[in-house]
Amino acid sequence: MTRKLAFIVSVLVMTLTLFGCYQSIGLEERYSEVIPAKYDFILDFSDGLAAVVVKDGYDYKRGFIYKTGEEVIPLIYGSVQYFSEGLAWVSLDSEYPIKYSLIDTSGNEVLPPTYYMVSPFSDGLSVVSTFMDGYSGTVIDKTGEVVISDMGYDFIHNFSEGFAAATYDIPDSEYEDSELAGIYRCGQNKHFMI
């Protein structure tokens, strides 16, 4: 069986090579290099910008480019998130603890370094934390105004269509199998919509 498989594979490779079928896909004809390979890493484009990364000694520096390859926001950041709704969380720090500030697509600072944990904006809101060890359940708008203050949630997911799922731990001694409207359980956590 192994010989038959090896023979079939070799015939297939010879056929593709002989007739040039490997070129029939035509990728080299349909696509051309737009941004030269000078970055160590390029993230997906979002809001017309992509985060790029270059190695700088033992560290990495991050910034943002347009689809043309033009560097729009200089590679000075130690940590960045992708743009969402025209805003991105960035930090000059690359080592823990990282405190994030908020910038717009021109690189202007919208909010100074304030939060340790941040999420991309969705529905005009971002889940943030001023605590280094996790989310506090605080939600801010694009101006930095607190919309939902710490309500005791362990985690609030991103907003979508006006809703966000939230989670909080329930100690074993208080855990009950009760059905509460809008609340469902998963393990020792309760999840619900806020």
Domain coordinates in residue numbering, the chain: 1-31, 33-93, 116-194
Q: To which H or E segment does residue 28 belong?
A: helix 27-30
What one-letter code names the amino acid at 143? Answer: T
Q: Band of the pLDDT at 21, cuts 50, 70, 90? A: very low
Which pLDDT does position 64 carry in this prediction? Answer: 95
The closest alpha carbon to 154, from 118, 116, 190, 115, belongs to 190
- Local confidence band at 125 (pLDDT 50, 70, 90 cut-offs): confident
- The tens digit of pLDDT for each residue in 47-66 reads 999 999 998 888 889 999 99
**What's the pTM value of the predicted model, to 2 decimals?**
0.69
User: Which regions of 17-153 does DSSP assign to beta strands (E)?
Assistant: 41-46, 49-56, 59-65, 71-77, 79-80, 87-91, 100-104, 109-115, 117-118, 125-129, 138-141, 146-148
Per-residue pLDDT tens over the stretch 130-165: 776 665 678 888 999 988 776 666 677 777 777 777
pLDDT of residue 177: 42
Q: What is the mean pLDDT of residues 23-28?
A: 49
180 has a pLDDT exceeding 80: no
More confident residue, 82 or 167: 82
Measuring CA to CA, how many Å separate 190 from each of 81, 108, 133, 155? 29, 39, 20, 11
Alpha-carbon torsion (147, 149, 152, 154), positive or negative? positive
Supply the mean pLDDT for the chain.
75
pLDDT at 29: 60
Token pair for residue 4? 């038959």
Residue written as token pair 């017309």: 48
Predicted pLDDT of residue 171 = 52
> Which is higher by pLDDT, 115 or 178?
115
pLDDT value of position 155:
72
**What is the pLDDT at residue 182?**
32
Sheet order of strands, 59-65 included: 41-46, 49-56, 59-65, 71-77
| Conformational region of residue 110, where left means phi above 0, alpha means psi within -120 to 50, and beta covers everything else | alpha
Residue indicated by tokens 């949630």: 153
* Cα gap 10→18, rounded to integer Å: 12
pLDDT at 50: 92
Residue (of 148, 157, 149) closest to 189 by Cα position: 157
